[in-house]
Structure 1
């Protein structure tokens, strides 16, 4: 794309961002009709996947020069919220099949020309072993929770780097193991059909496995958070992770919708409790409180997103406080929505306990989504660590010895990313 076409591209991008929400709304009847298949087959029908890709949602984070939308994150999160309201499994895949890539444009271009760029994998668990060889790496590993793997064209898994003596390589920036992640073509991957969870049953989140697969250097992210192939605002913060919040909000909206529908249904003959549904003070309180939670969580999410995106115009990566706030937003939104879900579900009574009802499926989806490690309530301690140490001469000090809840690089390590090259 030439510099002279930036204005036209921006206008086009704004139109396409608006279309994302319209696309999702236009697909509601198709997705609702497919819900029994989604639950029983353990995946989303491929025709829905292709429609979401071709319509743009699954290309939201794909760079503009690769036929992607490179959206404003707020518009994308609004679309994910609506998609999750329609169906939790499809909304979850909307979060994960966003089109992001760490490969350079010249590497991506021939791939995009041949096929859709739909990826799936696991960046949280470093279950792989990688060894440097001429021209790239040889990687082996088996990763769980690879949502969207049934339809993915490329898959990935985080691995720890080992040297020729089979010794773990330590990263010079933070002293942790040197993690790398490679893209594997679908034909090189064993996809295990073993996803059988309480909720989000249509996400195909089973194991994937590779056995001594060669991955060329150009398909590997060797520097992790210390490198960005596309140094533009959308890629300077983990905006994609904020879809956890959008997903939970959408599920809570769906639960309130279903509760309201249940209130207006005719009660089963002889059921005094169902006849009173909506007339008791606690039912009315639950509806009012749930609506307030939804609206406040949306405002909280959009405030954090807009602030980080504004900061990303001039900072890459965004300043550390925004990265902390992104994690805080995710944990608070998902766990608060989960608590509100339990409250409104409890008021539904016996109609909500039967397999196959929408409120029952929504409840299961939320329960599973809230178990994701990146939004675990216990990880709010990282936010507290930041707040309590940020003004100290040596601060801030964040525990980075386990899961990377807050995106690095971390200010407690003053070594520049270039030293890792």
Structure 2
């Protein structure tokens, strides 16, 4: 990974001192199923939660490789902490003037769900009225603004559809936390500290300047980070962090004094199978990380010169996520298998790492079946009827300029 000169510490240098605090809070993170306020404060102050905030708003506007390096490091410390760094980036589709007013008085920490269109939106003067309930809203307890994807409905109460493909038209908008009910109902197998419960809104007004009306990712800023969903690359970095943690934990366990009478513990780290497993794990981590860095670096350079990055790079951004998470999961499974029964003991780090990895790898964007979007592209890119799937969210959503009349003032 290339290192660019900066007039500030690199993010990884800023977050490394947080490790003792994060490790000391592991039991609280697990039991309370949300992030302690002091960790949220520290991640905001170090810049992790402002990494993608546009420079014109006072954000860091970082190179994504610098950010991914820090996401991996935080995920190595704790899977829940690293996961939230994917959501709380400071990125925004809200218009600049609205953002400046918000940032005068409060922090910009957002959470929500744009993968499921479980809201209903109606156009009204100056914006939209929205009702809905969205699940899996990681980071919602500490968010200052929340969002959810909604289907736009007309005055007759029927969903508005695109004349191009007949699909519903979607919007997403930011709503102040005071107007959102956050449900404390997250009780997952892993990533237990992410606060990934449901959120509900009932007939809440969203001003137009806080709404993404395009149906696809949109932006009002010069930053290349706003020209693709770079935040999704954190799936890969997060998984790498967990894989590194599992490998470290196995190595540490091999150095522990074996309990009296335990032949397996006495042999741990001395068997050929252990050597093979560690060698495979190291190779998988290194090669997966290089693939991720190559794709993201190319995508970012492309974003510097274009409003939307090349479709093929978007395909690769999706493909690398699926691949890296799959490789990382194999590493964690391998280390879990090699470490033996001690890996199953609740409260020990290997058990938590295993649960976090199994949970993270079940996300719809990175499950193995999501390779289909990349495969479809490589098989059909040279045909007249090219790929139709949006590789970032898995639904058909090309731009619809003919729908602009829906949003006329």
TM-score range, shorter chain: over 0.9
Task: Report what 2:327 is aligned to.
Answer: 336
1:398 maps to 2:388: yes
Over 3 Å counting, the alpha-carbon distance change for 1:416 and 1:72 in structure 2 is farther
- Decide whether aligned partners of structure 1 residues 122 and 294 sit closer, same or farther in structure 2, where only a CA change above 3 A counts: same
Q: Which residue number in structure 2 is paired with residue 14 of structure 1?
A: 6
SS at match of 2:10: helix
Structure 1 residue 306 displacement after superposition: 0.6
Aligned partners of 2:243, 2:395: CA distance in 1, in Å? 25
Per the alignment, residue 398 of structure 2 pairs with 409
Distance 1:162 1:416, change over 3 A: closer
Contact 2:389–2:397 at 8 Å: present in 1 too?
no
Separation in 2 of the partners of 1:403 and 1:310? 19
The equivalent of 2:99 in structure 1 is 108
Q: 2:165 & 2:331 partners in 1: Cα distance?
A: 39
Match of 2:190 among 187, 199, 215: 199
Which of residues 339, 356, 381 in structure 2 aligns to 1:348? 339
TM-score, normalised relative to structure 1: 0.92
Structure 1 segment 3-402 matched on structure 2, within 5 A: 14-16=6-8, 18-172=9-163, 174-225=165-216, 227-392=218-383, 394-399=384-389
The CA deviation at 1:408 is 5.5
Say whether the 8 Å CA contact 1:81–1:249 is kept in structure 2.
yes
Question: 5+ unaligned residues in a row in structure 2: which ranges?
Answer: none
CA contact (8 A) 2:72 2:240 kept: yes
Are the counterparts in 1 of residues 389 and 395 from structure 2 also a CA contact under 8 Å?
A: no
Contact kept in structure 2, 1:324 and 1:383, CA below 8 Å: yes
Residue 92 of structure 2 contacts residue 219 of structure 2 at CA under 8 Å; is this kept in 1?
no
**Cα offsets for 1:334-353 (capped at 9, x unmatched):** 11211221111100001111
Rounded Cα–Cα distance in structure 2 between residues aligned with 1:403 and 1:160: 18
How far is 1:91 from its partner? 0.3
Equivalent pair of 1:170/1:178 in contact (CA under 8 Å): yes
Distance 1:338 1:407, change over 3 A: farther
Once the two structures are superposed, residues 119-159 of structure 1 have per-residue CA deviations (whole angstroms, 9 ceiling, x without a partner) of 11001011101111111111011111000111111111111
Instruction: State the distance in 2 between where 1:226 and 1:344 align.
Output: 38
- Cα 1:236–1:311 shift into 2, 3 Å: same
- For the aligned residue pairs, the C-alpha RMSD in angstroms reads 2.1
Q: Distance in 2 between matches of 1:131 and 1:148?
A: 27
Please give the TM-score of this superposition, normalised by the length of structure 2: 0.95
Q: Partners in 2 of 1:164 and 1:383 — Cα distance?
A: 39
2-structure distance, mates of 1:145, 1:226: 20
1:308-331 deviation digits (Å, cap 9, x = unpaired): 111112122001000000000000
In 1, are the aligned partners of 2:218 and 2:226 still within 8 Å (CA)? Answer: no
Contact kept in structure 2, 1:244 and 1:334, CA below 8 Å = yes
Q: What is the CA distance between 1:215 and its match in structure 2?
A: 1.1
Shift of 1:44: 1.2
Shift in CA distance, 28/275, structure 1 to aligned 2, threshold 3 Å: same
Q: Is the 8 A contact 2:119 2:150 kept in 1?
A: yes
Long gaps (5+) in structure 1:
1-11
Pairwise CA distance, 1:218: 1.1
Give the superposition deviation at 1:172: 4.3
SS in structure 1 of the partner of residue 115 of structure 2: coil
Q: CA deviation at 1:268?
A: 1.4
1:19-53: per-residue Cα shift (whole Å, max 9, x none)? Answer: 31011111111111111111111111111101110
Q: How many residues are treated as equivalent by the alignment?
A: 405
Cα 1:116–1:226 shift into 2, 3 Å: closer
Q: Cα deviation per residue 1:235-267 (whole Å; 9 max; x = unaligned)? A: 112111000000000000000000000000011
